[in-house]
Amino acid sequence: MPCHVCCTCGTEFTESVAPPAGCPVCEDERQFVGWEGQAWTTLDALRATHRVAWKREAPGLEGIGMEPAFAIGQRALLVRAAGGNVVWDCIPLIDDAVVEAVRALGGARAIAISHPHYYSGMIEWSRALGGVPVYLHAADQRWIMRPDPAIRLWHGDTLELAPGLTLIRCGGHFDGAAVLHWADGSEGRGSLLVGDVVQVAQDRRHVSFMYSYPNFIPLGAQAVRRIVTALEPYRYDQIFGAWWGRNILADAPEAVARSAARYLTRLS
Q: What is the pLDDT of residues 83-110, one digit of tens each?
A: 999 999 999 999 999 999 999 999 999 9
The model's pTM is: 0.97
Give the pLDDT of residue 98.
Answer: 97
Question: By three-state DSSP, how is residue 41 classified?
Answer: strand
Domain ranges of the chain: 3-267
Q: Where are the alpha helices (DSSP H) in the chain?
A: 24-27, 43-49, 96-104, 122-128, 221-231, 252-267
Q: What is the mean pLDDT of residues 130-158?
A: 98
- The pLDDT tens digits of the residues spanning 185-227 come to 999 999 999 999 999 999 999 999 999 999 999 999 999 999 9
Q: Which pLDDT does position 39 carry in this prediction?
A: 98
Q: What is the DSSP letter of 140?
A: G
- 43: Cβ contacts below 8 Å, ≥ 6 apart: 2, 3, 5, 12, 92, 93, 94, 121, 124
Instruction: Please tell me what DSSP assigns to residue 117.
Output: G
Quote the pLDDT of residue 11: 98
Strands (E) across the chain are located at 3-6, 12-15, 40-42, 51-58, 61-67, 76-79, 86-88, 110-112, 134-137, 151-154, 158-162, 165-169, 178-182, 191-195, 199-200, 207-208, 210-212, 217-218, 238-241, 247-248
Average pLDDT in the chain = 97
Q: Are 60 and 83 in contact (CB under 8 A)?
A: no
Alpha-carbon distance of 149 to 179, in angstroms, equals 23
Query: pLDDT digits over 26-47, tens only?
Result: 999 999 999 999 999 999 999 9
**Measured distance CA(258)–CA(227) in Å, rounded:** 13
> For the domain 3-267, what is the CATH code?
3.60.15.10
Tell me what pLDDT residue 37 has. 97
Mean pLDDT for the stretch of residues 8-20? 97
CB contact at 8 A, 124 and 95: no
Whether residue 240 contacts residue 247, with contact meaning beta carbons closer than 8 Å, is answered with yes
Burial class (CB in 10 A: 0-12, 13-18, 19+), 139: middle
CA 127 to the chain's CA centroid: 18
Q: Is 38 helix (H, G, I), strand (E, B) or coil?
A: coil
3-state secondary structure of 239: strand
pLDDT at 133: 98
